[in-house]
Amino acid sequence: MLVVKNINQYYGGSHILRDVSLQATPGKVTVILGRNGVGKTTLLKSLMGLVPIRTGSIELDGKPVQHTTPYERARAGMGFVPQGREIFARLTVEENLRMGLAYKRAGTPIPPELFELFPVLRQMLNRRGGDLSGGQQQQLAIARALAAGPRLLILDEPTEGIQPSIIKDIGRVIRMLADRGDMAIVLVEQYYDFASALADDYVVMERGSVLARGLGKDMQVHGVRQLVAI
């Protein structure tokens, strides 16, 4: 589904991403871990085209997308849940969900599955996004990214600032989406226990480079918790 080869990215004269490579496969959750400031969010923004890469390649379903716009990548099947959620606070829940359908044909209905995944959103359709709790806003952000039916879902620290009960709900949804087998998921996460419970594959970053990678089931024996400890 997603193949990233040796991408390099710079902010001014600072070399932020250094020959980063990874893959994400349908039916699996690929977790990216690392301390603050190692380039994880920059990597996700590079995948979505929000920041340009200098060299390397990004392929989706075997087609290069590194020179396409974020809009074109979304149309190609990439969904993105940014850090901090970035919902539209003055729009209603329904309007936020419809923003996820922006490039679909006018009148395309909101997929009923979203309300099965996140029942609270049905109850709050007419409430403004800014009036929701942090956990509800995170569920809305994920649902908005899922509205168009992406084949690759990219999430940037979805547990940040979220209460434990909703963290469990989000983890359940991520696992359910992966287990369907038709979607690849890339997850950046600081909360180690959450990440390790979901990871089919893992990548650890350090100073903009890949420090370690492997199977999720081997994270404990490979000492990944110590690698990412602050």
pLDDT band at 12 (very low <50, low <70, confident <90, very high): confident
In angstroms, the CA 111 to CA 109 distance is 6
Which residue range is the domain that position 151 belongs to? 2-228
Nearest to 125 by CA among 147, 92, 103, 82: 92
Interhelix angle 164-179/134-146, rounded to 10 degrees, is: 10
What is the pLDDT at residue 120?
94
Q: Is the pLDDT of residue 85 over 90?
A: no
Lowest mean pLDDT among 100-109, 134-143, 176-185: 100-109
- Yes or no: say if 183 and 151 are a contact pair by the CB < 8 Å rule: yes
Output the average pLDDT for the chain.
Answer: 94
Q: Is the pLDDT of residue 78 over 90?
A: yes
Question: What are the distances in angstroms from CA 94 to CA 6, 116, 121, 135?
Answer: 40, 15, 8, 17
Question: What are the distances in angstroms from CA 193 to CA 33, 77, 79, 142, 158?
Answer: 11, 29, 24, 20, 13
- Reported as a single tens digit per residue, the pLDDT across 176-188 is 999 999 999 999 9
CATH code (residue 123)? 3.40.50.300
What is the pLDDT at residue 207?
93
What is the pLDDT at residue 161?
87
Nearest to 126 by CA among 97, 92, 88, 91: 92
| 3-class state of residue 102 by DSSP | coil
Lowest mean pLDDT among 27-31, 82-86, 135-139: 82-86
Q: Which residues contact 89 (CB under 8 A, 6 or more apart)?
A: 128, 129, 130
Percent of the chain residues past pLDDT 70, beyond the cut: 100
Name the one residue in this structure whose structure tokens are 């969904």. 79
Q: Is the pLDDT of residue 230 over 70?
A: no
Instruction: Give this prediction's pTM.
Output: 0.94
Structural domains of the chain, count: 1
Q: What phi, psi does 111 have (nearest 5°)?
A: -60, 125
